Amino acid sequence: MINAAECEPYISCDEALMCARPEEVIEGIRIMRHALQARQVVICLEDNMPGAFDCLKRALEAAGDSAIRIMPVPTLYPAGGEKQLIYALTGEEIPSQGLPADLGIVCHNVGTAAAVARALVHGEPLISRIVTVTGAGVRQPCNLEVRIGTPIGDIVAACGGYTEQVARLLMGGPMMGISLTSDQLPVIKTSNCILAASVAQAPTPPPALPCIRCGKCAEVCPAYLLPQQLFWYAHARDFDKIQDYNLFDCIECGCCAQVCPSHIPLVQYYRFAKTEIWDLERQRARADVARQRHEFRLERLQREKQALEARRAAAKKGLEKREKSGDADAKKAEIAAALARVKAKKSAQAAPPVATGEDDAAGPSEVKR
Ligand code: SF4
Ligand code: SF4
């Protein structure tokens, strides 16, 4: 599934890409289809983009790929959400905390398809992207292709600069955008929109009041969550309980905060809770690694101790063996010496007396006898 539906009002960067480079988009889609061996591909775009539809259709006919279809979906916020798009197209829901792959679907953005084509066909890494620069606070709203890392102030300057109506600067759309404190921040690969909003377009929210449990937030939640319960547990920092209410299924669309009569910045609470949970998980993972390393160290020390004891036992055994064999040799030598002495004595007794000149002089009668 190729997600070509813009995720928020005001944003039109994907539409601009499909109109400007439809061949590149189709090329990237065909590469991805080949890589994934997908049986079919559906490009989903909102039904208020006739220009993009025609451009893609022409490029598709030129490519002659019958496995790729274009399907318009109703323009209804948040239609560009991955889960919402899959539900609109197939009628199937992604399981809680699951992935589209659980349904046999891979979902990519249309910008990713174009980036794949540029990378594989032209060998060009992702160095630029199309950004929508819009809002009453900018003189000439338009879509620009800008290099990643370009300061936002330079982009606004390229669009004629700010108007006197500018009140807030947002990266992203009015629903999910992040308020910026400086226009010297750079464009990153996920920067789809720079919204220089007027007071009317992005009014400063009034101070939050306590939740009155009206349930309006639950009525509008596209993920069928209970936003007031999520808020309650995020506020109480009960990060175990909040996950029982499927916090991670929240797509941060901001619908709940828009309708909340108490003006509670609900999405900020959910983002805070998610960040804290990820941080706790990182800490837990680090602690697990440290514990494993400690256990491995203890095991290694134990192994080294056992090896040392085994070497010592072997050395002791060898010494005892050598000592024993030394005693036996000494005994053998003693026996051999005793036997030699006995033999020598016997042979001395059996031998006749040897005649000498002195004997002759002493008496010839003895020699004769
Ligand atoms: S809409 Fe606001 S006040 Fe009403 S239940 Fe939800 S959080 Fe509470
Ligand atoms: S931001 Fe609010 S309305 Fe949107 S998915 Fe999350 S809880 Fe539901």
The residue-averaged pLDDT of 256-264 equals: 96
For the chain, the 3-state helix, strand and coil shares in percent, each to the nearest 5, are 50, 10, 35
The residue-averaged pLDDT of 22-44 equals: 95
The confidence score (pLDDT) of residue 97 equals 83
More confident residue, 354 or 262: 262
- Domains of the chain, by residue range, sit at 1-126, 127-204, 205-350
The confidence score (pLDDT) of residue 248 equals 94
Distance 180 CA to ligand 1 centre (A): 27
How many Cβ atoms are within 10 Å of 362's Cβ, its own excluded? 11
Which atom of ligand 2 lies closest to the CA of 227?
7
Ligand in closest contact with the CA of 229: 1
| CA pair distance 84, 79, nearest whole angstrom | 6
Would you call 234 helix, strand, or coil by DSSP?
Answer: helix
Please name the residue whose Cα sits nearest to atom 2 of ligand 2.
256
State yes or no: pLDDT of 366 exceeds 70.
no
CA distances from 139 to 22, 136, 195 (A): 28, 8, 12
The residue-averaged pLDDT of 137-154 equals: 96
- Span of 162-171, 190-199, 276-285, 323-332 with lowest mean pLDDT: 323-332
Please name the residue whose Cα sits nearest to atom 8 of ligand 1.
211
pLDDT class of 353 with cuts at 50, 70, 90: low
Which one, of 264, 283, 9, lies nearest residue 134 by Cα?
9
Sequential DSSP letters for 240-268: THHHHTTGGG-----HHHHH-TT---HHH
| CA pair distance 46, 88, nearest whole angstrom | 12
Ligand in closest contact with the CA of 77: 2
For 40-64, how does the pLDDT look when each residue is reduced to its tens digit (9 = 90+)? 999 999 988 999 999 999 999 999 8
| CA pair distance 258, 267, nearest whole angstrom | 10
State yes or no: pLDDT of 290 exceeds 90.
yes
Handedness of CA 188, 190, 196, 202 (dihedral sign): negative
State yes or no: pLDDT of 362 exceeds 80.
no
For 198-247, how does the pLDDT look when each residue is reduced to its tens digit (9 = 90+)? 999 888 888 999 999 999 999 999 999 999 999 999 999 999 999 999 99
Among 82, 211, 256, which residue has the most ligand 2 atoms within 8 Å of its CB, making it the best to mutate? 256
Ligand in closest contact with the CA of 227: 2
Which atom of ligand 2 lies closest to the CA of 252?
1
State yes or no: pLDDT of 369 exceeds 70.
no
What is this structure's pTM?
0.74
The residue-averaged pLDDT of 110-137 equals: 96
- Span of 146-150, 152-156, 267-271, 335-339 with lowest mean pLDDT: 335-339
State both tokens at 335.
Answer: 């026996």
Burial of 309 (0-12, 13-18, 19+ CB in 10 A): exposed
The confidence score (pLDDT) of residue 363 equals 45
| CA pair distance 281, 77, nearest whole angstrom | 32
Say which CATH topology domain 127-204 has: Ubiquitin-like (UB roll) (3.10.20)
CATH number of 1-126: 3.40.50.11540
| CA pair distance 50, 196, nearest whole angstrom | 27
Which one, of 11, 18, 119, 7, lies nearest residue 70 by Cα?
18
The confidence score (pLDDT) of residue 365 equals 43
pLDDT class of 170 with cuts at 50, 70, 90: very high
